[in-house]
Structure 1
């Protein structure tokens, strides 16, 4: 590899914001946060979602009530009847 053109590849910790799960891996991501893990200070990256909290992997998928949404829309705005055409 050529020197000075590649980002630093190092050990980092990813924390899932939803579940608090920690993942220790190697990455080139840049962050200012650090965490002490197993006696060493490592860069910390907080992610919104990971395999620990993603609905596909956890099996906690939500089913949307689309019929209820349509009924609420019709109640709020009503159903429009078309105007008769002049002719």
Structure 2
């Protein structure tokens, strides 16, 4: 049985918006319904501009700078460092 999408709940005002990563100054052009206050001109065309704090251009997971703490050995390392001598 084919299901139908709910009517009247999906936005109609999709438009091309520029998302700018504040940290890296990179820009992403895609369709969105986000409310914007700024505009930007790219290739002689004016687009709404939305500034974002983090994107795949600046997030540590995507740029390879995320550090993982090794789980094994942390307790042993703590115990050996602060072990009481009796």
Superposition TM-score tier, normalisation by shorter sequence: 0.5 to 0.7
- TM norm structure 2: 0.64
Alpha-carbon contact 2:15-2:33 (below 8 Å) kept: yes
In structure 1, list runs of 5 or more residues that go unmatched: 68-87
- Residue of structure 2 equivalent to 1:41: 46
SS in structure 2 at match of 1:57: helix
Query: Max radius of gyration: which structure?
Result: 1
Cα deviation, 1:18-77, whole Å, max 9, x if unaligned, reads 00000000000011100001111100000000000000000012467xx9xxxxxxxxxx
Question: Aligned pair 1:31/2:33, yes or no?
Answer: no
What is the Cα-based RMSD across aligned positions, in Å? 2.3
Residue-pair matches, total: 63
